[in-house]
Amino acid sequence: MTTNLLLLLAVGALSGAVSGYLGSFMVLRRMSLVGDALSHVALPGIAIALAIGVNPMLGALLALALAAVGIWYLSDHSEIYPEALVGIFFTASLAAGILITPEVELLEALFGDIDKIGPIDGIFTLIGAVAIFAVTMTISKKLLLMVVSKDLAKSQKIKTSKIDLIYLLLVCGVVALGVKFLGTLLTGAMVIIPAVTAKNIAGNIKAYQILSVVLGTLATAAGILIASYFKFPSGPTIVLTAISFFIFSFVFKKR
């Protein structure tokens, strides 16, 4: 039990840290809800993975990657606003996902279940988190410059469309990592809340990014401990822990 809890804490902290880091860009780019909506796309992926007996994380990742490429392509090649596109993808996949997910698995897929996390998931999370951190760091400056001005970035010959695609794929990776803990309905929260909390406190980008990572890690770890102690479902507990940090930071800021 103790080793299992340690594994859960390690896996959770890693996925919380990387969600926080990637989320820090998401919030600045005003794309918070993109992460949230994308997470719902994971549902049909999970359902199909469950049906054919492979790891649900893989199914989620595949479905997410498809959706990300679709959103990226359409937003580049059509006049529909990205937020509208995300809305369409999200509702369509939620509807399809609920239809094809076996009823016994539905609750787990929607809200996450830490009891189902094993060593394989730990390895997936470790590899995934390290890869996402590394790639995000290499495009970090470009992403931030694009937040300040896309024209300025383009004038420096930065391929903004390519960076956008890489970024969306990274978001998919993060969502896939979080899906087992938080479920498809709540994964988006861990991308948004730690970053918004950090933004309330931080005075510069460096502090903001570090705080996003720290808060993501803390909220997930604390949430897992609370959930396992009180036998609560993990997803809602983690999200509410993060929200309590946010409220605290808000009061701190208004002081």
Partner 1 sequence: MTVSGLSVEFDNHTVLDDISFAVRRDSTMAIIGPNGAGKSVLFRSLLNLIPYKGTVSWSEDTRIGYVPQKLAVDKELPLTVYEFLSFKEKSRTKILEVMGAVGFLKEANHIHNDTRVLKTRMGNLSGGELQRVLIAYALLGKPNVLLFDEPTAGVDIAGEETVYGLIHKLKADKDLTIIFISHELEVVNKYADSVLCLNKEKVCFGPPKTAIDKESLEKMYGEETHIYHHHDH
Of 153 and 177, which CB lies nearer to partner 1 in the complex structure?
A: 153
**Residue 161 is a binding residue for partner 1 (CB under 8 A):** no
Which member of 145, 169, 210, 225 binds partner 1 (CB under 8 A)? 145
CA quadruple 53, 59, 63, 68: dihedral, nearest 10: -170
Secondary structure class of 233 (helix, strand, coil): coil
Task: Take residue 181 and report the two structure tokens written for it.
Answer: 């803990």
Contact present, 207 and 177 (Cβ < 8 Å): no
Stretch that binds partner 1, among 42-50, 109-117, 151-159, 231-239 (CB under 8 A): 151-159
The least CB distance from residue 42 to partner 1, in Å, is 30
Of 116 and 150, which CB lies nearer to partner 1 in the complex structure?
A: 150
User: Which DSSP string corresponds to 173-186?
Assistant: HHHHHHHHHHHHHH
Q: Measured at the alpha carbon of residue 32, what is the angle toward residues 26 and 36, in degrees to the nearest 5?
A: 120
Span 22-41, contacts to partner 1 by CB under 8 A: 28
The least CB distance from residue 154 to partner 1, in Å, is 5
Binding to partner 1 by CB under 8 A, coded x per residue (else -) over 188-207, reads: -----------x--xxxxxx
Q: What does the alpha-carbon distance between residue 192 and residue 171 come to, in Å, rounded to a whole number?
A: 11
Binding to partner 1 by CB under 8 A, coded x per residue (else -) over 78-107, reads: ------------------------------
**Residue 155 is a binding residue for partner 1 (CB under 8 A):** yes
Q: What does the alpha-carbon distance between residue 115 and residue 136 come to, in Å, rounded to a whole number?
A: 30
Secondary structure class of 80 (helix, strand, coil): coil
Binding-site ranges for partner 1 (CB under 8 A): 28, 141, 144-145, 147-149, 151-152, 154-156, 199, 202-208
